[in-house]
Amino acid sequence: MSRIGKKPVNLPQGVSVKVDANNVVSVKGPLGELSQAVDPDITVKVEGNAVVITRPTEQKRHRSLHGLYRALINNMVIGVSKGWTIQQELVGVGFKAEAKGQMLELSLGFSHDIHFQLPKEVTVETVTERRSNPIITLKSYDKQLLGVVAAKIRSLRKPEPYKGKGIRFVGENVRRKSVRSASV
């Protein structure tokens, strides 16, 4: 990860970064504001239109933290400037998804519908077209929160290996098993 840590994080137009005395990095942009506490050993400096992260020694711990915090700060900068998007599809007969504000209603083949409350930082859109699987689109400026929400939605009905039914990410390849036939 040290090669990643050496690269500076370029700041796009409209994004500002502040580092306070407690080594907390705050990134503010047109879509929102994020902050991340950084290990005291790692130094974060704003130089011109870029953020530079440096480490004190070549210890394995410092090298790994160097790359980690560079990647986290880069994700924060991209999030507040462009935002992040995750798409999931519902594969199964009768599976439905409907967005009502911050509430996501899912029909996943259980006896009752599932009502999933989303955090205020995440927006949701659902698309249901004839002859295709319903698609859930999640958008946010916080990549970590978006990943947690998407994983939680997927855990409601994971894709099963025999028919492939369940909630999967768009483009995800589900490994299928063949059904064992009874021997004569």
| Residue-wise pLDDT tens digits, 119-153 | 999 999 999 988 899 999 999 999 999 999 999 99
In this structure, is residue 139 part of a structural domain? yes
In percent, the amount of the chain with pLDDT more than 70 equals 97
Is residue 88 in a domain? yes
Number of structural domains in the chain: 2
Nearest alpha carbon to residue 8 among 48, 59, 35, 64:
48
Between strands 123-127 and 114-117, the pairing is: unpaired
pLDDT confidence of 3, banded at 50, 70, 90? confident
**1 falls in which pLDDT band (50, 70, 90)?**
very low
- What is the band of 181 on the pLDDT scale with cuts at 50, 70, 90? confident
Indicate the Cα dihedral angle 32, 38, 43, 46, nearest 10°. 0
Is residue 179 one of the residues assigned to a domain? Answer: no
| Structural domain boundaries enclosing 118 | 84-169
| Average pLDDT value over all residues in the chain | 92
Q: Are residues 93 and 152 in the same domain?
A: yes
Same domain, 69 and 145: no
